[in-house]
Chain A
């Protein structure tokens, strides 16, 4: 089983609908992240969380919200989806230990299409 699991892997929805992408991890890491990938733009950080009570906005948080339900679970919500939120979304975790250099461990991605 994957260490970082994202559900759903694929989702097609309509403009205005509320969507939740879920992420769970078995790595025991405190730090979790949501990134968005668009062709030609690389990965951009949406939100990150260093523990259950610590949530921070990334560079492109507008239109998104998150919930850290437990150390192992971090959900991303689109309250009212719009077409330009069509993208591949990645959840990632990291270990705060200095020896890791901040390396990220990624899920397999959730492809979202907003019509």
Chain B
């Protein structure tokens, strides 16, 4: 079964520091990959998505992610974290076939220290 792994349950960074959240997916042809953010009490908001083309994808709020097929990874990065980035982050992969269901990782909770 196709799966998505987020190895880090919780990450703490200081405001202004750089951030990298890890995501690994089980290999499959033409992965569709997504990063979502969930702020407290809110639904999930799409940060960015990847299907093909340039392996470095730019998203909203200053986030970017890099697709590395050789490592089956799609890590999320931000050069300088803001306190408002504190949230839970989910990596997701679109299932193969026409169903277009997303399979989600278990999430990474980000804490930002002042």
A residues sitting closer than 8 Å to B (CB atoms) are: 4, 31, 33, 35, 40-45, 48, 56, 58, 90, 92, 94, 96, 101-104, 106-109
Residues 51-98 of B contacting A (Cβ, < 8 Å): 51, 90, 92, 94
**A107, B90: Cβ atoms under 8 Å?**
no
Residue numbers in A under 8 Å from B102 (CB-CB): 45, 102, 104
Residue numbers in B under 8 Å from A48 (CB-CB): 99, 101
- Complex CA gap A30/B112 in Å reads 38
**B101, A45: Cβ atoms under 8 Å?**
yes
B residues sitting closer than 8 Å to A (CB atoms) are: 4, 6, 9, 32, 34, 36, 41-46, 49, 51, 90, 92, 94, 99-102, 104-107
**A42, B106: Cβ atoms under 8 Å?**
yes
Number of A-B residue pairs having CB atoms within 8 Å of each other in the complex: 57
20 CB-based A-B contacts, threshold 8 Å: A4-B43, A41-B106, A42-B4, A42-B106, A43-B90, A45-B101, A56-B99, A90-B44, A94-B100, A101-B32, A101-B49, A101-B51, A102-B32, A102-B101, A103-B46, A103-B49, A104-B92, A104-B102, A106-B44, A106-B45
Residue numbers in B under 8 Å from A107 (CB-CB): 43
Q: Which residue of B lies closest to A109 (CB)?
A: B43
- Complex CA gap A111/B55 in Å reads 37
